[in-house]
Amino acid sequence: MPVLLLCALALSAQPDLPSVDKSPLDISYFPDNYPVLKIRDKVTDPPTARVIYSRPKKEGRTVFGELVAYDNVWRMGANEATEIEFFTPVTVNGKKISKGRYTLYAIVKEDSWTFIINKDADTWGAFKYDESKDIARVTVSAEKTSDTVEALSMKFVKTDTGFNLVVAWENTFAVLPFSL
């Protein structure tokens, strides 16, 4: 009887669980779909990079220029700042970046984005962004899409010299190129 009583007490003492977040967390790997390939024993290359981000939705709002203000540092998602991890050294815009975890920010303009790789990880939003911790900045063109992208989306795409991180939302996308 005491064991049953302890089990009942343990069940009643469970903490309140959080509700489902409006902007769910997602992960993208390079090579694409790495964890699924791994469990299927189809991995041909080790992982090179992954990005972890929350995926806010457009939900009828104007994203760029309003929800995401032009010329301000943006956490590239919702909730925690977007995290990018490199499992091997990579090069971006001629700058070698060591393997490790970093925060990925952007400064969005109507026709260009400046991607920022910052060494301060595990942070919420861009509230404590510190430019002195930037390790690389890359400005790229922002392109328009023909279709509306409802939820912020990120995907790595293989190139001849490495890979690109494609970021798309609303009717805009930008590409951050990496070489190996």
**DSSP symbols for 156-174:** EEE-SSEEEEEEEEEEEEE
Using alpha carbons, list the distances in angstroms from residue 129 to 50, 84, 90, 122, 142: 21, 15, 23, 11, 23
**Confidence tier at 2 by pLDDT (50, 70, 90):** low
Average pLDDT taken over every residue of the chain? 92
Per-residue pLDDT at 172 exceeds 90: yes
- pTM for this entry: 0.88
CA-based radius of gyration for the chain = 19
pLDDT, one tens digit per residue, over 31-87 is 988 888 889 998 888 899 999 999 999 999 999 999 999 999 999 999 999 999 999
pLDDT of residue 66: 96
Give me the percent of the chain exceeding a pLDDT of 90.
78
| CB count in 10 Å sphere of residue 139 | 14
Give bridge partners of residue 153 from the DSSP assignment.
168
Residue 25 is encoded by which pair of tokens? 């967390």
**Confidence tier at 107 by pLDDT (50, 70, 90):** very high
